[in-house]
Amino acid sequence: MMKRLLANLTFQVLIAIVLGVIVGLYFKPFAPTAQLIGKVFISLITMLIAPIIFLTIVLGIAGMSDMKKVGRVGGKALLYFELVTTFALIIGVTVANLVKPGQGFVSTVKADTSKLAVYQKAAAEMHWGDFIAHIVPSNAFEAFAKGDILQILFFAIIFGFGLSRMGEAGQTVITLFDKLAKVFFNMMHIVMKAAPIGAFGGMAYTISTYGIKTLQPLALLMVSVYITMFLFIFVVLNIICRIYKFSLWQYLKHVKEEILIVLGTSSSESALPGMMEKLERFGCSRSVVGLVIPAGYSFNLDGTTIYLSMSVIFLAQVFHIPLSIVQQLGIIGILMITSKGAAGVTGSGFIVLTSTLAAIKVIPVEGVAILLGVDRFMSEARAITNVIGNGAATIVIAKSEKEFDEAKYKTAIAGGRTRV
């Protein structure tokens, strides 16, 4: 029994996270080494993301007999993303108004304004039109080299359409790509054996660098954000799961390893390849997984939108700026746009927040610096909520398109393993 438990990846990651917290608290000089460990693991995962996304999408589209279905799946996914992220924004604003985490806020930590200029510059350069233009890669190889998910997604869709029009002549390419996809997923299984080490490094670095004490001044905001995300997952997403007749709890159990890896590394990308494979095993068709998951990583950031909406209200309360209902609705409207405009950009949370404050011209942009110290601790909640939300979206779209295998689902929830 003990031997079996020690061999379990979920148990290994949990132990690694606990050890990371202990090392971070009591061995602070270990921080640079811990950061290196975490970075290497995330790089190992990132190395596989571009080819896995490309091959999954191409094989999914090439396997679809009805090309109109591809457009329908994409359209449904975007509509779902907008509706659910709007719910997330409204919940975030509501909770922030009820709890009032910024009222009576007294900072005992000096705000780090040195990084603020970088985010202000990025926010000033961020334009909706540029974002649309950026989706189309000028060089497909460069998109792969940079790991730009949106550009790879676009190129893969066009490639998949082109391959599907070849008919029987394209079958050899499809067979080759299918074998290559299996190779990359096997590589991912090898890399995932190092997940406990990566989670340990990420957690040790976070705790040793930022420290538990930095949380105290912003404890109420952090608690509010975590509670709101908990409510979003177990109320909003649970209702959606019930409507589409699948179990939220069984789904969470199925992807628990990916959730723990995100918790340890603070990176939602570290779970992307694993989520794609797990969702196929859960019953979703390869074509739906290939289209919805990569798009969701840019357009369905439920955790990020909750964090952004609560941060804006929090800063308004800190600076004693009363916001009317009309102003708050305006903020929600702006966030609905700006939260998409920085998709795939490093540090996008702060870029979006900075650009939103600049757009509403009510709250001082400099206020963002207050949040810099604790952002790392809230990034886990954001990333986990984003990952869970994207997986749920994929299942919903698969079920609505009748691209969901109930037999695979029953095997998955029974604890079995099906080949994808």
Six token digits for residue 215? 């949380």
Q: Give the pLDDT of residue 215.
A: 64
Tell me the pLDDT tens digit for each residue of 69-110: 778 888 899 899 989 988 888 898 889 999 888 886 765 444
Q: Give the pLDDT of residue 251.
A: 95
Residue 227 vs residue 63, higher pLDDT: 227
Q: Give the pLDDT of residue 275.
A: 92
Which of 34-48, 203-217, 387-401 has the least mean pLDDT?
A: 203-217
Which of 42-46, 142-146, 341-345 has the least mean pLDDT?
A: 341-345
Distance spanning both ends of the chain, measured CA to CA: 29
The CA distance from 178 to 66, in Å, is 20
Q: Give the pLDDT of residue 392.
A: 96
Provide the pLDDT confidence category of residue 195 given band limits of 50, 70 and 90.
Answer: confident
For residue 341, the Cα-to-chain-centroid distance in whole angstroms is 15
Statement: residue 179 has pLDDT above 50: yes
User: Residue type for 40, please?
Assistant: V
**Most confident among 34-38, 143-147, 269-273 (mean pLDDT):** 34-38
Statement: residue 2 has pLDDT above 70: no
Q: Give the pLDDT of residue 373.
A: 64
pTM for the whole thing? 0.80
**Other CB atoms within 10 A of residue 48 CB:** 17
Q: For residue 278, what is the enclosing H or E element?
A: helix 272-282
Statement: residue 117 has pLDDT above 60: no
User: Average of pLDDT values for 7-24?
Assistant: 84
Q: Give the pLDDT of residue 114.
A: 52
Secondary structure in 3-state letters for 279-319: HHHHCECHHHHHHHHHHHHHHCCHHHHHHHHHHHHHHHHHC
Statement: residue 120 has pLDDT above 80: no
Distances (CA, A) of 57 to 54, 160, 177, 395, 411: 5, 7, 11, 16, 25
User: Residue type for 140, please?
Assistant: A
Tell me the pLDDT tens digit for each residue of 273-311: 889 999 999 999 988 998 899 888 877 888 888 888 888
Q: Give the pLDDT of residue 80.
A: 93
Contact 310, 92 (CB under 8 A): yes
Residue 167 vs residue 196, higher pLDDT: 196
Statement: residue 135 has pLDDT above 70: yes
User: Average of pLDDT values for 131-150?
Assistant: 81
The CA distance from 273 to 79, in Å, is 24
Q: Give the pLDDT of residue 7.
A: 66
Which of 93-102, 168-177, 202-211 has the least mean pLDDT?
A: 202-211
The string of DSSP letters for 95-163 reads HHHHH-TTTT----S----TTHHHHHHHHHH--HHHHHHHHS-S-HHHHHHHT-HHHHHHHHHHHHHHH
Contact 18, 120 (CB under 8 A): no
What does pLDDT average to over the chain? 81
Provide the pLDDT confidence category of residue 217 given band limits of 50, 70 and 90.
Answer: low
User: Average of pLDDT values for 114-143?
Assistant: 64
- Which fold is adopted by the domain 2-413? Proton glutamate symport protein (1.10.3860)
Provide the pLDDT confidence category of residue 229 given band limits of 50, 70 and 90.
Answer: very high
Provide the pLDDT confidence category of residue 391 given band limits of 50, 70 and 90.
Answer: very high
Q: Give the pLDDT of residue 281.
A: 93
Q: What percent of the chain has pLDDT over 90?
A: 21
Q: What percent of the chain has pLDDT over 70?
A: 83
